Structure 1
Amino acid sequence: MSESKGGDLRVILADPLLPDGIETLRAAPGLAVEDHTESDREALRSALEGASALIVRSRTKVTPDLIESADRLRVVGRAGVGVDNIDIPAATRRGIAVLNAPAANTQSTAELAFALLLAAARRITEADASIRAGEWRRKELRGIQLSGKTLGVIGLGRIGAEVVWRARAFGMRVVAHDPFVSADRASDLGVELASLDELLPACHAITLHVPLSEENRGFIGRKELAAMRQGSILVNAARGGLVDEAALAEALGSGHLGAAGLDVFETEPLPADSPLRDAPQLVFSPHLGASTYEAQRQVSRQIAISVRDALVDGDYSAALNAPFEAEDRDGAGPIMDLGYRLGRLLAGLEDAPPSRIDVRYGGPRDGVLGPLAASVAVGFLERRVDPPLNVVNALSIAAERGLEIVRVRTQAVGDYTNYVELSAASGRARGRGRSRGGRGMVVGGALMGSRMEPRIVRVGTFRIETEPRGTCLLIRNRDQPGVIGAVGTVLGEANANIAEYHLARRKGGGQSFGVVRIDEELPAATLRELEDLDGVEEVRQVNFD
């Protein structure tokens, strides 16, 4: 342990950091690094008293009680990507910035995914095992050539994009599925965009690069595996749980799939009774995506630089959590919250991925367009990209995905003193305030009263006033008798309690638009039942919380 000098800011290492990172921190003026990698929990808690920064890997759990013991903590740095072991809300409430090293393992993970593809295609592990067993099965171990084949890439984030470059270098045609990547971004990468239903049967190999959530657990199940091309290859180096492992074992056993490569699993380590252990033509690796010296060296150096910059220069641009709370920074908080909820609304209404979102603010506050635009990006992208996502990194992530967020300051609209409007558009910007391509959905909101409470006041061409909270159904229908009653009947039969029902219409006998707040989200079957009602044209469900 190094002793801190008087006045130095103490940086606590709870988990090991490679020398590159430690040297970067020790070279910074005014920082003292203390090694507590061998300390128990109570000793770590004691060491955090008066400390300015804590650096962890995945082993140390940064819980609310640990945070409470750190009376002067300003930064928690995660030497890695995932921050599941850090209670970010607890850190944010204390004004503690949470940093990570998001790009450090991109190359290594992309390389491993492609290595699994190559090993599966050429049956490398099987060939190795046969030689070690004294065999020479040259005629039997015939693989497939990747050049000239079609690779399906599901998810075009950092790692997915790197896999695309490698596939193209091998002479492969690449088809990608990512609902929130624009045609312009796909063109830049040299890939063709397709729906999942189109991609599955068209590809000789498919690789997954999407985050895991409760919504997409088992994303590749029996139905999707059956839709894949006979003899094709599946690779997953993204997240365990994306693939139905029992269904994959069956598809390999039946010969429907030619091979698979897995680096991640539903349960890790892989259980002894997993059906995957007996599946043929399956290449395993034990979650080695970031396990290269280069990746770990970059992780250590990147987190050290981010912690140093935060403590020494006050630069929190690498923070994952919001740099300020709602009540801070000149009242920007309520406007940011409104922007976030409008972003959630726009995401629920916009099917085609836009290349641009215009964020218009009409009101008296200066300096809010930047954080407002970031909040809109968080709301729009939140359920569609790898976490963590927040106002600090949302705009850069949007840019990576080919989504331009344009900020426009306007005059106040009508009686609204703080008005925010979002409009989605396809095509790239052309000049100031102009876009090539069609204008998509428009949504608007305002802050009401002295408490600046958020309200939705515009959806498309409809004017409506409703509070954006909880779960809401957005129903567009013909303006005819019986629709509201029929909707109520379906919701009643589904045991869905209606909290509020707001209705807007253009003119009698034309179209109507309803916002129905319910206590819990509805299953897909109930949404389809609502859409099948006479007079109902479209039903969308949006959760604002």
Structure 2
Amino acid sequence: MKVIVTDEVAQEGLELLKKDPRVELDIRLGLKKEELLALIGDYEVIITRSGTTVDKDLLDAGRNLKMVARAGVGIDNVDVDYASSKGVIVVNAPFGNTNSAAEHAMALLLAFCRNITKANASLKNGEWKRAPFTGVELKGKTAGVIGLGKVGGRVATRLKAFECEVFACDPYIAAKRAHDLGVKLVSHDEIYKNCDIITLHTPLNDETRNMIGERELSMMKHGVILINAARGGIITEGALLNALKSGKVYGAAMDVWSEEPPKSEVLKELISQERLVVTPHLGANTFEAQINVAVDVSKEILNYLDEQPLENAVNIPRFDMALMDQMRPFLNLMSVLSDFGIQLVDTNIAKVIFSYSGNIAHYDCSPLSVCGLSALLNRRVDQDVNLVNASLVAEQMGIVVEETKSTQAGAFSNLITLIVEVEGGKRRTVSGTLFEGAPRIVRLRDYSMDFAPDEHMLLLNYTDRPGMIGQIGTIMGTHGINIASMNLGRREKKGEAMVILSLDSAVPPEVVEEMKTAIDATYIRAIHMRTVKCNRGCCA
């Protein structure tokens, strides 16, 4: 296998490849784009960092490319979708800098609390001052960790070692992980209201962008300390500037910025604040982290050669096609069940159970379970989850995954049941089968149902009484939402009823609230199925 390295990568990682006689390693740094395009067709793997853009032109020129190995976390410089369309695997090293980032967050916190940067500058200027640099201790403080993933978990452990009481908030982490770390899992607002120190460890996405603004800052204790070594843009920087000036925030330490390098006047003024410790995005900048990411991607290349699972593939993995052929008719069903079921859950997942009954139970169902897990987690985490890394991601989140099988057939020759258990033992259950090759959902909770999932749906639970169906239709008609089909399940007359509506368009949140109030719904959920597209011709 011919491998080209186009960016600076730690030699410790490359040594793994040099020792393997199957690998022909070619280190070509500083190539111009035209030079790389002329060369890349001879190589099966390209190892990059951020200096090489792996775009459509490069992927088209790389006629023999099998893998793009990004020695780092971010893959912004790789066109992953186009690589997938070309059958090129993309791997990265998402955990190589975990310890580095955690330690930097602690370094920022300690540097602020003990006035390290100010005292250092003072002494170097020939002064001997002590009183102005009196600091604060971590012992006895209440610290809030927002994001309890790999980095956040390590920071929580270190804060515990400093004898802090640690609260944590992460809607995608099971309570078991928090318990294992010895921290208390609470809501965002509880973090803001009760913590002396708040440190951020979440990705930047639509959910977390400007997550901490004026509202959140106003809720915090007077004199709070904020740490952001995660991603710029999570904190609204203008609001933080005002909070520092007013004294609401006693101090802060930041490694990341919404604009890098910072150029705006707001950022320049923020960085100049006396009670702010700053660094220029150094979280991953340790010698050890650079070695780790190089080793990680080199191991992935060797795993590929050995036909072993790739833990950090971010797109299409390579699977045993003979096994996949056995399960292919049910893969879409599993994806649909998981996409539907996860939308019924709004708290932390503790356990996922995949149950197979009938003829399908004679086969190895593990590819189906991994497929379902992937579909579930892709609704819950920021990173790309696929058939290769789904089990690893679930383990890191503290989610227990079980699989049960029974060859006894009931009403259906094949039945797949997904059970998602949340904190407190509550469960969401969805069962489905194939009718003429198409997915059908045949049970929700303990209600017998029978419907084909559609792109836009609305699920309701309410007490069955005359006029309810008409009222539901009236509200939908008033807002111009056409009902394509309706499926009703109930246990007894005038008891609890469950209704699932298939719709031609999405239901806005305000209509959901209106419906909930109008029919006194005990449960209501608008569902958007990514795995299903409208096939009635109405949305063309």
Q: TM-score, normalised by structure 1?
A: 0.88
Q: Which moved more, 1:292-301 or 1:22-31?
A: 22-31
3-state DSSP of counterpart to 1:140: helix
The answer (yes or no) to whether the contact 2:359–2:409 under 8 Å persists in 1 is: no
Residue in structure 2 matched with residue 175 of structure 1 by the alignment: 167
Q: Which amino acid in the other structure matches residue 332 of structure 1? A: M
Alpha-carbon deviation of 1:28? Answer: 0.9
8 Å CA contact 1:210–1:239 kept in 2: the answer is yes
Superposition RMSD in Å: 2.7
Amino acid at match of 1:443: V
- Is the aligned partner of 1:375 residue 2:371? yes
Structure 2 match to 1:127: 119
* Counterpart residue type for residue 279 of structure 2: S
Q: In 2, distance between residues paired with 1:236 and 1:334? A: 46
Contact 1:505-1:511 within 8 A present in 2 as well: yes
1:158 offset after TM fit, Å? 0.8
Distance 1:529 1:352, change over 3 A: same
SS of 1:402's partner is: coil
Query: How is 1:38-49 mapped onto 2 (pairs within 5 angstroms)?
Result: 38-49=30-41
Distance in 2 separating the partners of 1:516 and 1:244: 40
CA positional deviation for 1:112: 0.7
CA contact 2:462–2:496 (8 Å) conserved in 1 = yes
- Is 87-96 or 53-62 further displaced after alignment? 87-96
Pick which of 287-296 and 453-462 moved more. Answer: 453-462
Q: Which residue of 2 aligns with 1:441?
A: 428
Shift, 1:500, TM fit:
4.5
Distance 2:127 2:470 in 1: 74
Structure 1 residues 497 and 294: alpha-carbon distance in aligned structure 2, compared to 1, 3 A threshold: farther
The 3-state SS of whatever aligns with 1:377 is helix
> 2:500: which partner in 1?
515
- Aligned residue among 433, 439, 460 for 1:475: 460
Instruction: Point out where structure 2 has 5 or more consecutive residues left out of the alignment.
Output: 531-540
For the 8 Å contact 1:483–1:536, the answer to whether it is kept is no
Which residue pairs with 1:307 in the alignment? 301
In the superposition, relative to structure 1, how do residues 194 and 409 fare at CA in structure 2: closer, same or farther (>3 Å)? same
Aligned residue for 2:132, secondary structure, equals coil
Deviates further, 82-91 or 388-397: 82-91
Aligned: 1:27 with 2:19:
yes
Q: Which of residues 302, 310, 316 in structure 2 aligns to 1:317? A: 310
The equivalent of 2:287 in structure 1 is: 293
Offset at residue 507 of structure 1 (A): 3.2
Q: Do the aligned partners of 2:454 and 2:503 also contact (CA within 8 Å) in 1?
A: no
Instruction: Give yes or no for contact 1:10–1:31 (8 Å, CA) kept in 2.
Output: yes
Report deviation, 1:384.
Answer: 2.8
Is the CA contact 2:173–2:398 (under 8 Å) kept in the aligned structure 1?
yes
Q: 1:136 to 1:213 in 2, by over 3 A?
A: same
Q: Distance in 2 between matches of 1:278 and 1:254?
A: 15
Q: Which of 394, 404, 409 is residue 408 of structure 1 equivalent to? A: 404
Alignment map for 1:94-493 (pairs within 5 Å)? 94-131=86-123, 138-275=130-267, 276-311=270-305, 313-318=306-311, 319-324=313-318, 329-365=324-360, 367-411=363-407, 413-425=409-421, 438=425, 440-449=427-436, 452-491=437-476
Structure 1 residues 467 and 239, CA gap change in structure 2 (3 angstroms): farther
Whether the 8 Å contact between 1:445 and 1:456 is mirrored in structure 2 is yes
Distance, in Å, in 1 between the alignment partners of 2:352 and 2:177 is: 15
Q: Number of aligned pairs?
A: 525
Do the aligned partners of residues 254 and 321 (structure 1) sit closer, same or farther apart at CA in structure 2, a change above 3 Å counting? Answer: same
Partner in structure 2 of residue 433 of structure 1? none
For residues 50 and 419 of structure 1, what CA distance do their matches in structure 2 show?
Answer: 48
Task: Report how far residue 508 of structure 1 moved.
Answer: 3.2
Deviates most, 268-277 or 147-156 = 268-277
Deviation of 1:322 after TM superposition, in Å, equals 3.6
Show the 5 A alignment for 1:81-92: 81-92=73-84
Q: Percent identity?
A: 37
Q: Equivalent residue of 2:374, what SS? A: helix
C-alpha contact (below 8 Å) 1:157/1:400 kept by paired residues: yes
Q: 1:397 to 1:448 in 2, by over 3 A?
A: same
Q: Could you tell me whether the CA contact under 8 Å between 1:483 and 1:535 is conserved in 2?
A: no
Distance change in 2, residues 1:334/1:324 (3 Å): farther
State the shift of 1:513 in Å. 2.0
Write the distance in 2 (CA, Å) between the matches of 1:214 and 1:523.
Answer: 18
Taking the aligned partners of 1:170 and 1:479, their CA distance within structure 2 comes to: 56
- What is the TM-score when the length of structure 2 is the normalising length? 0.89
CA contact (8 A) 2:358 2:410 kept: no
Moved more, 106-115 or 133-142: 133-142
Q: Relative to structure 1, is the Cα distance of residues 231 and 506 closer, same or farther in structure 2, using a 3 angstrom cutoff? A: same
Letter in 2 for 1:308: L
